[in-house]
Amino acid sequence: MTAVDAPALDFGPATHLTCRACGEQYPLGAAYACIECFGPLEVGYQLATPTREQIAAGPPSIWRYASLLPVPADIAELPGLHPGYTKLVRADNLARALGMRRLWVKDDTGNPTHSFKDRVVAVALSAARQLGLRTLSCASTGNLANAVAAAAARAGMDHVVVIPADLESGKVITTAVYGGSLVAVQGTYDDVNRLCSELIGDPLTSSWGFVNVNLRPYYAEGSKSLGYEVAEQLGWRLPQQVVIPVASGSLLTKVDKAFRELGTLGLVEATPYRVFGAQATGCSPVAQAFRAGIDVVRPVKPQTIAKSLAIGNPADGPYALDVARRTGGAIADVSDEEVVAGIRLLAETEGIFAETAGGVTVATLQHLLATGQLDPGAETVVYNTGDGLKTLDAVASQVGPTATIAPSLEEFRAALGG
Ligand SMILES: *Cc1c(COP(=O)(O)O)cnc(C)c1O
Ligand SMILES: [Zn+2]
């Protein structure tokens, strides 16, 4: 791999890329796979420890953790929509309904395009700038499409988003509105992802940054902010259990990475925690491997309403398995009916309307409790990663007016009176 010779590349504390499979090191650049073994590359750092006070004095966005991310130190120069620092909601009603002691919802619907993908895109966009890439692109299951289009628009970059043609209309419209190019591919997300991998190296796309392909090492680091924030919002300590939705498995592995870093840096006490992953049964290759007790994640053809999680061949699946096993967690899956029930339960107990991925996570929490895998007495954080307004179809057939009446007192009484 040739070193990138552009002057003054600024990736803050990041010093190199390293192969997660064999440990081979590479210079920072638009590389994502190891030349020796084709393993995935990850950002390596020389981290100087910020103090809690320095972090707290930062902006209310992921950039308060800039000193722990592969971005320049000058926050004022950082691009995009300044996502992050979303609410950590104490979920006492849901806890009561589930027989749990202390439960929190990390609610990432509060991001600029209403999903956690704004975090990863912000870091990838900074990398694209450093590397002189002028077009921002991605293969998306929906939320990433929104986040790439919006952040690129704001940064004044061209954008080309590639999606499976059967995506929810709520995610197509909320991408197309930002202008740029939107290409709908007749195939699954895995087909879209393969196409984008083939495009890398094509002359047409030589100055493009595909946030989750050739910029994937940087993109993935953005998810660490979901670990940092929870620890900071709990008063600088780690929760005992977390439940995280799994598509490629990147988010789950990076929350674990963030918790470990905070412990190593002495920003929190390195108390034990268990990481649980959540999938929909119709696309549950990682949960199946977990149950079978094997390390190999066998690709599946997705068939589920949880389209944001419908990655049949998850790049970080084996690493997500490792994290769940190492921490004493699990990866489990729930049916589409349970997903809808999970969406409704969270809405009815906490006033939070989650997309299908949030339904997967809440339903998996229930499943893990029912099967005795998760401790109801231990402090638990569930990650709600996306907004229900983008996946209305999931609940549309189940909810609606309690009664439809003429505008008269009698009819109202007849409809609602005891
Ligand atoms: C992309 C996505 C995830 C999971 O992402 P991975 O890092 O690929 O596992 C979870 N929830 C929502 C809503 C998403 O859009
Ligand atoms: Zn390697």
Same domain, 58 and 196: yes
Q: Which of 219, 240, 260 is the last residue of a domain?
A: 219
Same domain, 243 and 144: no
Same domain, 294 and 376: yes
- Does 351 fall in a domain? yes
Ligand 1 atom at minimal distance to the Cα of residue 386: 13
- Does 51 fall in a domain? yes
Same domain, 187 and 97: no
Extended strands (E) in 284-352: 330-334
Ligand 1 atom at minimal distance to the Cα of residue 108: 13
What CA–CA distance (Å, rounded) separates 318 from 364? 20
Same domain, 23 and 96: no
- With a 6 Å cutoff on the Cβ, whether 313 touches ligand 1 is no
CA of 115 to the centre of ligand 1 (A): 9
* pLDDT tens track, the chain, 418 positions: 445 454 568 999 999 999 999 999 999 999 999 999 999 999 999 988 899 999 999 999 999 999 999 999 888 878 779 999 999 999 999 999 999 999 999 999 999 999 999 999 999 999 999 999 999 999 998 999 999 999 999 999 999 999 999 888 888 999 999 999 999 999 999 899 999 999 998 999 999 999 999 999 999 999 999 999 999 999 999 999 999 999 999 999 999 999 999 999 999 999 999 999 999 999 999 999 999 999 999 999 999 999 999 999 999 999 999 999 999 999 999 999 999 999 999 999 999 999 999 999 999 999 999 999 999 999 999 999 999 999 999 999 999 999 999 999 999 999 998 6
Helices (H), 67-188: 92-98, 117-130, 143-155, 169-176
- Does 317 fall in a domain? yes
User: Which tokens hold the place of 36?
Assistant: 């020796």
Same domain, 99 and 244: yes
Extended strands (E) in 174-291: 181-185, 208-210, 241-245, 274-280
What residues make up the domain containing 191?
A: 14-77+117-219
Q: Are 355 and 334 in contact (CB under 8 A)?
A: no
Q: Could you tell which of 385, 390, 391 is best to mutate to test the pocket of ligand 1, judged by most ligand atoms within 8 Å of the CB?
A: 385
Ligand nearest to the CA of 323: 1
- With a 6 Å cutoff on the Cβ, whether 113 touches ligand 1 is no
User: Which tokens hold the place of 351?
Assistant: 């006033």
Local structure of 104: helix, strand or coil:
strand
Local structure of 109: helix, strand or coil:
helix
**Backbone dihedral angles phi then psi of residue 244, each to the nearest 5 degrees:** -130, 130
Model's pTM, two decimal places? 0.95
The pLDDT of residue 201:
83
Local structure of 286: helix, strand or coil:
helix
Total domain count for the chain? 2
The pLDDT of residue 141:
86
Q: Are 380 and 242 in contact (CB under 8 A)?
A: yes
Q: How many helices (H) and strands (E) does the chain have?
A: 15, 13
Q: Are 311 and 189 in contact (CB under 8 A)?
A: yes
Handedness of CA 142, 145, 146, 148 (dihedral sign): positive
**Percent composition of the chain: helix, strand, coil (DSSP 3-state, to 5):** 40, 15, 40
Ligand nearest to the CA of 221: 1
What CA–CA distance (Å, rounded) separates 310 from 294? 21
Ligand 1 atom at minimal distance to the Cα of residue 115: 13
Q: Could you tell which of 171, 309, 356 is best to mutate to test the pocket of ligand 1, judged by most ligand atoms within 8 Å of the CB?
A: 309
What CA–CA distance (Å, rounded) separates 215 from 27? 13
The pLDDT of residue 340:
98
Which amino acid belongs to residue 370?
A
CA of 250 to the centre of ligand 1 (A): 8
- Does 368 fall in a domain? yes
Can you give the CATH number for the domain in which 140 is found? 3.40.50.1100
Same domain, 174 and 267: no
Q: Could you tell which of 116, 171, 352 is best to mutate to test the pocket of ligand 1, judged by most ligand atoms within 8 Å of the CB?
A: 116
- With a 6 Å cutoff on the Cβ, whether 257 touches ligand 1 is no
The pLDDT of residue 256:
98
What CA–CA distance (Å, rounded) separates 95 from 385? 19
Same domain, 134 and 282: no
- Does 418 fall in a domain? no
Ligand 1 atom at minimal distance to the Cα of residue 356: 13
CA of 117 to the centre of ligand 2 (A): 27
Which residue is closest in CA terms to ligand 1's atom 11?
Answer: 385
The pLDDT of residue 7:
53
- Does 4 fall in a domain? no
Helices (H), 163-244: 169-176, 189-199, 216-221, 224-233
- With a 6 Å cutoff on the Cβ, whether 146 touches ligand 1 is no
Same domain, 228 and 352: yes
Residue labelled with tokens 């209309």: 169
- 393: β partners: none
Q: Are 174 and 146 in contact (CB under 8 A)?
A: yes
- Does 413 fall in a domain? no
What are the angstrom distances between the C-alpha of 110 and each of 81, 106, 353? 12, 10, 11
What are the angstrom distances between the C-alpha of 23 and each of 12, 146, 318? 21, 34, 16
CA of 319 to the centre of ligand 2 (A): 14
Same domain, 193 and 306: no
Which residue is closest in CA terms to ligand 1's atom 10?
Answer: 245
CB-hemisphere CA count at 13 Å for 345?
26
Q: Are 70 and 106 in contact (CB under 8 A)?
A: no
Same domain, 182 and 275: no
Same domain, 228 and 212: no
Q: Which of 193, 219, 245 is the last residue of a domain?
A: 219
- Does 125 fall in a domain? yes
Q: Helix crossing, 317-327 with 285-292: angle to 10°?
A: 50
Residue labelled with tokens 């990147």: 250
Between strands 135-139 and 208-210, the pairing is parallel
- With a 6 Å cutoff on the Cβ, whether 140 touches ligand 1 is no
The pLDDT of residue 77:
79
The pLDDT of residue 2:
47
CA of 244 to the centre of ligand 1 (A): 9
CA of 245 to the centre of ligand 1 (A): 6
User: Which tokens hold the place of 415?
Assistant: 């409809």
